[in-house]
Structure 1
């Protein structure tokens, strides 16, 4: 029986709030997009959710990511090398007729995609700057400004964000990445939920590593 027809599972279609604005977005199964979220050219894997008022552009986001309210992913940069940083230089069409969007600047922005791994938690009000890559299992503290890549299973916080500690010891983090539980089918996840809730991480790995 396919998961979609299994009575144990909820409807696996994305849940999108009517006030959300999405353009060029690809969402996985069980994803959720909250109130007034704005996404442009973003992919998000299965089970990932965005809380209210978050924004993202030019980003690839893994599965099981928890994105809190007021998060900004791939914050807009301005052309500081030009006469003005104002958008009149790259979106003059908003002010003048016969002036189009600056496709060179747009291409520069598109080339700096943000990459976010699986099982990443991004706290309230965090800002992820262009081209940043965040590893699996990382945690971004509330109101952090992430200007550099974040290693897997690392907790960062502050402005600019700096490592605080590892979420798990390196050996455990490596085993979790090999386990790649985020790729398990829904049926396996269903069976694993009681152990996720009750077992210490070492005991969970000992039972589920195969």
Structure 2
């Protein structure tokens, strides 16, 4: 019996999920937190990932302790502290700043299909990680990452393309992430055994 389900995300012990939606065959690792986010089919995050205000593409691979969409403090005010917006925690006669939370939730990160976000990496709000891109462990991504690019460092900078010229465009055109569950199963042996170029030659 497969562990993952077409209808419900698999939540490991201690996982916390609020205001989020999940497609088929999704997984949330032990102690991870997912807030105000959408996981498309087959996306998963590992242990203690912290994901907020994010659209996570199909087949996205998010490693342990990654942080995506970390929220910012209001650094242009007289104070940075969250008593400014979580005010009800401190006083009975005042409400939280709903406008602040709405603006924070609207600053969404986008993680493309078949991406890999490495261990401990940080992806800032309003950043887009293109399809097939790889973010190295410990990287801090402050700008958009092109599809099929490998980035690393603080701040993250491009290292190299994932594939030789032309391969990424052909994979995009093939769009295997939109295949049915049954078609993926039928092609599993080729996913395992073939290089990207050989896979394209067979399935284009």
For the superposition of Structure 1 and Structure 2, which TM-score range results when normalised by the shorter chain?
over 0.9
Coordinate RMSD, CA, aligned: 1.5
Correspondence 1:60 to 2:55: yes
Correspondence 1:126 to 2:121: yes
Q: Which whole-Å deviations, capped at 9, do the CAs of 1:171-193 have from their partners, x for residues lacking one?
A: 11011111110000011101111
Match of 2:68 among 59, 67, 73: 73
Correspondence 1:104 to 2:99: yes
1:135 aligned residue: 130
Correspondence 1:85 to 2:97: no
Correspondence 1:26 to 2:26: no
Comparing 68-77 with 89-98, which one deviates more in the overlay? Answer: 89-98
Distance in 1 (alpha carbons) for counterparts of 2:2 and 2:150:
34
Match of 1:37 among 8, 17, 32: 32
* Structure 1, gaps ≥5 residues long: 1-6
**Does structure 1 conserve the Cα–Cα contact (< 8 Å) formed by 2:44 and 2:61?**
yes
Tell me the secondary structure at the aligned position of residue 89 of structure 1: coil
TM-superposed deviation, 1:102: 1.2
Correspondence 1:116 to 2:104: no
In the alignment of these two chains, the number of paired residues is 203
Q: 1:90 to 1:67 in 2, by over 3 A?
A: same
Distance in 2 (alpha carbons) for counterparts of 1:145 and 1:98:
39
Q: Which whole-Å deviations, capped at 9, do the CAs of 1:148-184 have from their partners, x for residues lacking one?
A: 0001000011110000110012411011111110000
Distance in 2 (alpha carbons) for counterparts of 1:60 and 1:94:
30
Tell me the secondary structure at the aligned position of residue 93 of structure 2: coil
TM-superposed deviation, 1:9: 9.6
Correspondence 1:14 to 2:9: yes
Match of 2:153 among 158, 175, 179: 158
Q: 1:10 to 1:91 in 2, by over 3 A?
A: closer
Q: Which whole-Å deviations, capped at 9, do the CAs of 1:106-164 have from their partners, x for residues lacking one?
A: 12212210111100100000111110011100000001100000010000111100001
Distance in 1 (alpha carbons) for counterparts of 2:24 and 2:112:
16
**Does structure 1 conserve the Cα–Cα contact (< 8 Å) formed by 2:152 and 2:159?**
yes
2:180 aligned residue: 185
Distance in 2 (alpha carbons) for counterparts of 1:155 and 1:16:
29
Q: 1:8 to 1:97 in 2, by over 3 A?
A: closer
